[in-house]
Structure 1
Amino acid sequence: MWIMLAAALAALQSARRLALLLAALAALAGFYYQVLTWPVLPLLAGTAALVALRRYDPTPSWQQILSEALLVLIALGLLLHLFPGFNNPVQVDGIKVGARSLPFSFFFNFDKALIPFVLLACLPTLFRARACPPRYPWVAALALIAAVPLLLCCAVLLGGLAFEPHFPSWLPAFMLANLFFVSLAEEALFRGYLQQRLREALGGLPALAISALLFGLVHFTGGILLVIFATLAGLLYGLAWHWSGRLWLSTALHFALNLTHLLFFTYPALHH
């Protein structure tokens, strides 16, 4: 089921009919294994009706504005796990990755995985938008890559992390979940949709700053240090998206930072 759902997300940009078929099969498997239960049905039906409405009358109108607003609210609800009927299975429950790490749990999130499908109905350019390339692309690319360990090392200096290498047995499950059900979902919302819409209205730099700040604020439950760290990370992901226009590029950078964090530093944070 989860491999099918990941494959659906991987195909969503280039083969949408295949992606929808795989997603439908994954949903059927989800109901069979009770990862999805009946309260999900009204949500799926309502979302499908909004998407059909947009396809039936694609001309700009108040119906289009209202349907897009409702779809974005659905995406936010999926991000925050607000909708009933999703029994996201826990993969790791309250374990300490290392001696100095805080206890950590992670799930396979079916609800968050639906976010790119919802937002693609709002914005056809979700995966590939207009690029604003920098003057020296290779320098910019190297700077973004170098910023990943630099940001993590700054967190060490601030006392939020410490160096602590790990290679847990559940690493493949973490990589699958973090790439498709976390990084892609969050990048679809904050970069592919939000930053793109803000850039259309306000310009590149305000869009970058606002989307990064909102991304940081979503992490408020982890404390002020995590909000700052996530905001700075959001600036990196936002630059990757702004310069390339490609959602998968910002997703890859997001995933690379999360994976580097797990492999070489206390995860999710330092236990004081």
Structure 2
Amino acid sequence: MGWRVPQDATADDVPGHTRPLPQKRPPRSRTRRYLKRAAITLAALLAILAAAAATLLLATPSASDATKLAAQQARQHGIAYPGPPVPANFARPLVATEDHRFYSEPGIDPLAVGRVIEGKLTGSQDQGGATIEQQLAKLLYTPGQSGVTAELTQVALAIKLNYAYSKAEILRLYAEVAYYGHGYYGLEAASCGYFGHPASKLTVVQGAMLAGVVNAPSEDDPIAFPAQAHARLAHVIARMVAVGYLTKTQGTAVLNTPLGIVPRDDAGC
């Protein structure tokens, strides 16, 4: 007869059986500590950025006088103000090339701003990212200025412009104060000067050329530097295809369409 384990026996009473060691409570996760510290640091940085943004908005002027400033510049350049509404054949290539999130962003492009900040921190080349509102703020409020202070001012004013004016009004203001090369200021004067007709009659290729020129009007002047202007035009058309304003076939057809430039000393139509 074998050995029988009593019903009231414990683990220590069973031959060959040892009581398992009690499980130690695992130490606090190091990853959790790192995440907590990172969250606190991020919250502090966001608070600092929010305070800096609020200070910047308070320190910069109102954007309610943008139309007044545009009118002053028009008088200085001897052109009529206000100009006509911006035609789609100029608005679409401008938006596609300069600011393809124009209709959905709040005056600044957070993704582009992030790239610019990263570039400044790492010392890499500035990839741009100025929205149409920022470019308009530069033209109206900080012409000829550069540096961090000017850029921050443009950012703050871009946000204010976005809330003070509709997108159509912002495009119109931009079109009226931009320089298009060859001595032409304002979209209407540029259309009349290059093509001999008002902006309302711009063809797709003509509007694309003018939208491309504003980025570097002295370098991409289609009369003084036709090869560079054509290269810029090709880029604008490619952007219109990329954002869906044109199909690839349409883009090729537009790029091969004659510009019809008839330069005139008088920018009137």
* Pair in the same fold by TM > 0.5: no
Q: As a proportion of its length, which structure holds more helix?
A: 1
TM-score normalised by length of structure 1: 0.32
When Rg is computed on C-alpha atoms for both structures, the one with the higher figure is 2
